[in-house]
Amino acid sequence: MIASSLSGYANNDNFYYTATNITGPWLNKTYICNPAAGTRTYQSQHAKTVPVVGTEGTTYIFCSDAWANATTDAAFRVDSRLLFLPIEHNGNTLTVNWHNQWNLDVAKGNWADGSDSMWGKYLHDYCVDKYGISTAYELGQKFVPTVAGQIEAISVYGVSGESGNHTARIWRNSDNVCVGGAYTLNLTGKDEWHRYSLPAPVRVSANTEYTVSVTNGDDDRKFFAFQSTSNRFDPVKGCDPNTSAPGYWRFFNQRSKHLTFPEKSGVVATEIGSRPTTAAGNVYYRDIEFVPD
């Protein structure tokens, strides 16, 4: 039996009990998410469990509500996003791990892990700062794959007013080699993620630092999205500069299974076509889709 604490709209660390009979006794209260405590069920509360029965097995889907900023601003309570994650079980042990993407075979009733990314497309627009300037920049995000694999897509979070062509590249930092690109991405001026499928996958090595860079666009203000690392990420409230909660980059590092990115990992360059290396104290919402070997 999966349960949630009484905290209104606010999320909390969900847990489960086990019993050999529906009438009880119900024992062994255990947190269901991994890592166990402190994730606040990936900013959500359990709503229901959906079984998908197929020819080869059954997948149980953990369905939960993610109420945006529910404790601080009633206007955001209309923003309830849904999470669907597979429940992994071993005997009487249940675990809900985070997957940025996973694939369900409805006919067979089984599932497999999908691609990985840094941010997981799980950003509310109130977690993003917007800046406009007259200068063209290379804006990058450093990352390290923990296993070998390939990059199949690049994503950038665009902000309102940010439009036109952007140039994207993937760099290997140790020898300053551009291993992917240049690619042209076109943004539409909306607060949303923009995804670009690579014409051919880019191979990357384990435990090697890379940078994905995307220029700001050719709109008049050359807008781009960023988040200051002086701000903090509260798993309950969202991005809140007044909280002492752990940095939001650590929160997202917990979510990515095969990618890590260091603190203050946003980098810039004023020379277009060069690898950005100057740490500006910000994180830029440049991302990749990574498929491990």
Mean pLDDT by 10 residues, the chain (293 residues): 81 87 87 70 86 93 76 52 86 82 87 78 58 86 93 90 91 97 89 89 96 88 75 45 43 68 82 92 85 89
DSSP states along 181-240:
EEEEEEEESSSEEEEEEEEEEEEE-TT--EEEEEE--SSTT--EEEEETTS-EETTTEE-
The two structure tokens encoding residue 284: 């830029």
Contact 198, 256 (CB under 8 A): no
Q: What is the pLDDT of residue 267?
A: 92
Q: What is the pLDDT of residue 53?
A: 95
User: Please, is 11 exposed, middle or buried when counting C-beta atoms within 10 Å of its C-beta (0-12, 13-18, 19+)?
Assistant: buried
CA nearest 214: which of 170, 176, 263?
170
Q: What is the DSSP letter of 116?
A: B
pTM: 0.69
- Domains identified in the chain and CATH numbers: 2-113 (2.115.10.20), 125-292 (2.60.120.820)
CA nearest 160: which of 221, 109, 249?
221
Contact 116, 257 (CB under 8 A): yes
- Return the H-helix or E-strand segment holding 41: helix 40-43
